[in-house]
Amino acid sequence: MRILFDQGVPAPLRRALADHSVATAHEMGWTQLSNGALLRAGESQFDVFITAADENALDWRLLPSISIIESGGGKAAVNNNIFGWDGGRIVFKSIPHGIRTVAQVLSKSDLYRHKNTDDILRLYNPYPDYGFRVKAVMRSLGPVNVPGLAALD
């Protein structure tokens, strides 16, 4: 999976994503782009986890962690659905479209709006150990408070 880091994401975070191809906005020559423009510039080349989380005030680690639990980070995904959304039955036009859609639903829908990460995970998948498993992946990715990234908690 190709991942684009927005401004301010610490370089050491790359090591946590060693199985993926990571580039920064700086490396791509996109340092002057706003989040929306950065998202549009990178959507054909990168998955948009960080920017989608930032635009929707979600913990930056939530979306990639759900995708890792649900589909091995996209390795077992069908229909561009790396999140197991609706039991894997939902079809997204592309992986970036799925990332943006799920981020927006987790942030703005009546069901999830104003919920903390634990409550989001309980609603997302009610299995007792689901939240624990997702949060273990989140912890492995790094701290919640990384400069340049929004956090829900």
Alpha-carbon distance values, 92 to 30, 85, 96, 119 (Å)? 27, 10, 9, 25
CA distance 99 to 34: 18
Determine what percent of the chain falls in helix, strand and coil, rounding each to the nearest 5.
45, 5, 50
Q: Among candidates 129, 130, 119, which has minimal Cα distance to 58?
A: 119
Q: Can you list the domains of the chain with their CATH numbers?
A: 2-141 (1.10.530.10)
CA distance 74 to 123: 21
Residue 3 near residue 50, CB atoms below 8 Å: yes
How far is C-alpha 137 from the geometric centre of its chain's CA atoms? 12
Q: Which residues pair with 4 in a beta bridge?
A: 23
DSSP-derived letter for residue 107 is: H
Q: State residue 129's pLDDT score.
A: 96
Q: State residue 96's pLDDT score.
A: 83
Reading the chain (153 residues) residue by residue, the pLDDT tens digits are 677 777 666 666 677 667 777 787 777 777 777 656 666 666 666 657 878 888 899 998 899 889 889 987 777 888 889 899 888 899 998 888 899 999 999 999 999 999 999 999 999 999 999 999 999 988 887 777 654 444 333
Among all chains, which residue has been given the structure tokens 């790359």?
14
* Tokens linked to 19: 């199985």
Q: State residue 11's pLDDT score.
A: 66
- φ/ψ (deg, to 5) at 48: -115, 35
